[in-house]
Each structure stands twice: as structure tokens, then as C-alpha cells.
Amino acid sequence: MKNFFWISRLYFKRNFLAPANYLLIGLPLIFIVAFNIIDGVTAEGNLTSLAIPIVLVFQFFSADISAGWLHSDIKGPIGARILVSGNDRRVFYLSVIVTSWLFSVLIGILLVIATPIFFNMEWPNIPLTILAIALLSLMTQLIGVLIFYFTADKKASGKMGHLFGEAMVGLSILPAMFNNQILDDIVSYLPVGIGDQLVHATRIADTIIPIIILLGIIAILSGVVFIIGKGKDYA
């Protein structure tokens, strides 16, 4: 774990200095405003039912953060310096994943704070909301590493990351606009739907299954990242 904290501080700072990362705040707020205007949503419960999946699903756009840093640094001069400095590249990977995850979670927390201020809504359970954001964000950073593995450069990973985020938005939010029970049931089995179940849990027992499912997905993704990474020259 040599230099883990030094590398982590560096990338945490770089995440704050990257203007594009703040789209993770702006875009969810724009979506909430747009849905509020289009659907004429004024009741507190209705707005909350839309805002929660919007905030959760936009965590998936953060896959581009980890994929972008890995592309820009692991294959370039910084990657060469990592090798000659004696640092294990696994530490570099871990630092990028952890800092991107923490930054994404912080953005999610800011959204949780901002939405009640600017809109007439309340979060059902803030601690469970933050937990759902944290699990979805960690899942997303692992997907970001997979995007890095299978794309040629930072530009390609950016396109793939945005396409992935847009697909999750389409699958997780748009069906709710049709008020169709079948579509709602399908969405409930997606990661965002499972996160939404966790947010709305009223008993500890109700949180167990969503948490186990999300942790299971994270564990599977971690295994896939490790296995594929072992076969890469830069892993």
C-alpha cells in the first residue's frame, strides 16, 4: 500500500478541479426541474418519487471519472513513473477507484441536501439514501474500470461512459413516466430500483435483501475486474 494515501489525495483534489465532474450535480437538478414542469408535479410525494431515482441513476455517469483517470495516466508518462518508482499498479487502481467513489458519494450527498432546499420534497430516510448512493457509486467505479479495459483511449471511454449513463437513465426513469405497472416491476429489479427499495425501507429487515443484492453485484464486478485485469499488460 505504498503511497496509497498520497496518490488518493492527488486524485481527490483533481476530481474537484475537473469542471466536467460537476455535471453530476447540474444534470440531476435539471432533470428534476424538467419533470416537475412537464408533468405538473406539485405534490410532495410525487416529486419525491421522481427525484429519488433521478439522483440515484446519475451516479452511473461517474463511471467516466475512474475510466478517464486510468486512461489519461496509467498508459502515459505517469504510468511509466509508477513502474520505475516501485509503486504497485494495483495501489494506483485502488486509489483512483476509492477517490472517484468518495467524490461521487459527496456529490450525491450534496444533492440530497440541495433538493429539499430548492424543491418541495423530503427524503424518506437520509442515512439509507446515502448508503444506496454509496453502493451504486462503488458499483459504477468498478464498471468504469471495465470501460477502461475495453476502450482504446480517454475519448472512447468518455463516450462509452456517457452511453452507459444514458442507458441507465432511460431504463430507470422513463418507464415511470408511463405509469405502467409492468414497466415499474421490471425497473424494480435493476440496480436503481433496488436502491430505491433501500431508500424507502421502513424496517431493518426490509434493508437486508437490497443491501445483499447490491453487495453481491459489487462482489461479482470486483471479481470480473480482477480476472480481466490480470490478463492486461498494464494491470
List pLDDT tens digits, range 135-168: 999 999 999 999 999 998 888 998 999 999 888 8
- Specify the residue for cell string 474500470: 145
List pLDDT tens digits, range 103-126: 999 999 999 998 888 877 788 899
List pLDDT tens digits, range 152-209: 888 899 899 999 988 888 888 776 666 666 777 777 888 999 999 999 998 999 999 9
Helix (H) or strand (E) holding 29: helix 23-39
- Of 73, 48, 49, 61, the closest CA to residue 104 belongs to 61
Compute the distance between CA of residue 123 and CA of residue 206 in angstroms, rounded to an integer: 17
Dihedral-angle region of residue 68 (phi above 0 means left; psi in -120 to 50 means alpha; beta otherwise): alpha
Assess contact for 108 and 61: CB atoms under 8 A. no
Domain residue spans of the chain: 4-230
Q: What is the pTM of this model?
A: 0.88
CB atoms within 10 A of CB 153: 10
- Specify the residue for cell string 502515459: 76
Compute the distance between CA of residue 136 and CA of residue 119 in angstroms, rounded to an integer: 24
Residue 214 dihedral angles phi and psi, to the nearest 5°: -65, -40
